[in-house]
Amino acid sequence: MVKNIAVIRGDGIGPEIVEQALNVLNKVAELYGHTFQYTDVDMGGCAIDKYGDPLPEAELQKCVNSDSVLLGAVGGEKWNDVPGHMRPEKGLLRLRAGMGVYSNNRPAKIWKQLSDATPLKKSIVDQGNDIIIVRELIGGIYFGEHKTEGDIAIDVLKYSESEIERIGRIGFETARKRNKKLCSVEKSNVLDSSRLWKKVMHHLAEEYPDVELSDMLVDNCAMQIVKNPAQFDVVVTENMFGDILSDEASMITGSIGMIPSSSLGSTTCGLYEPIHGSAPDIAGKDVANPIGTILSAAMMLRFSFDMSKEADAIENAVSAYLDADYRTADIMSEGKRLVGCRKCGELIISNLRKE
């Protein structure tokens, strides 16, 4: 099978972690007889330097015309002083909108081998933690009007019923495939947009009688994620809340460097990326953790290419790597074996077996 993958190496540690993910994909292709063709795309700070634009239209079209997109990370202090509309992150927002990927799924589970790396106490970890946060990705305050008038700044948070319904369905469908529990997170005691969110979610629940729907205010959810994460299975929420909660959930797993994500819309062409940033302070030092990017590639195989066995092979290889007590610096603990970014990729590839 031939698949065309747009590759955004990006900024900071992006090129390093993407390189390891591509090496893993190449090994999978060898084992299973696939062909992955890569098209490099400039986005973020590197595109600003090259084109004066965080995502030129021609680069966006490469992504739209691909079978899926693999992204490392964008941004960094180097571009902090450019005008707001030119920031590297604007390229990412433009990419999501251009691809029409409105659903961002971020899993957050504690790998059994990393139970000693989580900041949670053992009694909480032992209850288990395997959450998927379904985040609406191309609406809300990030895509609303932004303006500053004198000493007043304005950011508009706006959602339509149709935007809420389509992400709500993703939440219900995801829960239906797991443990049939869905928690809808909003701030309906304060925000009109959240009251509409709650109304739409409860209307949708009538179509999914097999899924248990609960409501939770976002501030309470933030507390409950660290107090009792085992109560959650699938969480669905709006853009900004999902951004914050998924980062919080990732840290209770031990490291943000372990967490992949998928972003999908109405087609199988998705955007796959680790949830962490570009970490320019460690760029080029061969210390970054590539596992989040490698697992993002596995999600691409599973959700966009219908290659479940190949995805399983990658996840099992990561698990075997952790079983052997290898760790990058972000998850290093006493008695483990410290490795760098390149060595981590090499070791995972050495554990790849055809399922």
Cα-Cα end-to-end distance for the chain: 17
Q: Which of 42, 67, 102, 142 is catalytic?
A: 142
Q: Is 219 part of the annotated catalytic residue set? A: yes
Active site residue 187: yes
Count each helix (H run) and each strand (E run) in the chain, helices first: 12, 14
Annotate 184-220 with DSSP letters as a single string: EEE-TTT-HHHHHHHHHHHHHHTT-TTSEEEEEEHHH
3-class DSSP assignment, residue 131: strand
CA dist list (Å): 65 to 14, 15, 43, 54, 101: 22, 22, 16, 19, 14
Q: Is 325 assigned a catalytic role?
A: no
Q: How far apart are CA 150 and CA 56, in angstroms?
A: 31
Within 8 A by CB and 6+ apart from 87, the residues are 54, 75, 79
210 is annotated as an active-site residue: no
Catalytic site residue from 243, 272, 326, 330: 243
Q: Which of 130, 215, 247, 286 is catalytic?
A: 247
CA distance 335 to 322: 13
Cα 232 to Cα 107: distance, rounded to the nearest angstrom? 12
Q: Choosing from 27, 187, 321, 330, which is the catalytic residue? A: 187
Distances (CA, A) of 81 to 76, 77, 219: 10, 8, 32
Q: Left if phi > 0, otherwise alpha if psi is -120 to 50, otherwise beta: which for 29?
A: alpha
Is 142 a residue of the active site?
A: yes
Is 31 buried (19+), middle (13-18) or exposed (0-12) by CB count in 10 A? middle
What is the length of the chain?
A: 355
Integer CA distances (angstroms), 354 to 22, 138, 323, in order: 17, 37, 19
Residue type, 302: R
Identify the helix (H) or strand (E) that includes residue 267.
Answer: none
Q: Which of 219, 281, 323, 325 is catalytic?
A: 219
Amino acid in the structure at residue 334: E
* Residue 184 and residue 215 in contact, taking contact as beta carbons nearer than 8 Å: yes
Residues designated as active site: 142, 187, 219, 243, 247
